[in-house]
């Protein structure tokens, strides 16, 4: 019996330099275009917060640790590494987690066995 590797999640808060959030969001949009084509990158969600005018929050979900490594070594992260230094005010706060469960994610769970209708 094959044991499924846990899905790996990352939560990040990025603070843009004053007046640079629009450019930062555009950079994440560009990175997202590349991340969408990466095998094992399940979710790459970028959020702007109304009452934090310079903040951008990210949620990333990967099929497993290997998929995250491919992402980290891939073009999406290279795009970010090239553009972030001139746009980011302070260090990026990142928290790693393992996906436990919930609802509302548009990601199929291989352990689910939906009934066909």
Domain locations in the chain?
13-98
CATH code linked to domain 13-98: 3.30.70.100
Residue 107: its pLDDT value, please?
53
Reported pTM: 0.82
71-115 pLDDT, tens per residue? 999 988 998 999 999 999 878 999 999 988 888 766 555 454 333
**Residue 117 pLDDT grade (very low, low, confident, very high; cuts 50, 70, 90):** very low
15-26 pLDDT, tens per residue? 999 999 999 999
26-65 pLDDT, tens per residue? 999 999 999 999 999 999 999 998 999 999 999 999 999 9
CA angle 47, 66, 48 (to 5 degrees): 5
């Amino acid at each position: 019996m094959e044991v499924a590797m846990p899905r790996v999640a990352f939560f990040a808060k990025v603070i843009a330099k004053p007046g640079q959030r629009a450019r930062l969001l555009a950079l994440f949009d560009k990175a997202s275009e590349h991340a969408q084509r990466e095998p094992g990158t399940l979710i790459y969600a970028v959020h702007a917060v109304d009452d934090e005018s310079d903040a951008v929050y990210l949620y990333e979900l990967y099929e497993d640790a290997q998929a995250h490594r491919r992402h980290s070594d891939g073009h999406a992260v290279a795009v970010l590494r090239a553009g972030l230094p001139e746009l980011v005010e302070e260090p990026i706060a990142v928290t790693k987690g393992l996906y436990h469960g919930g609802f509302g994610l548009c990601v199929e769970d291989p352990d689910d066995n939906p009934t066909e209708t």
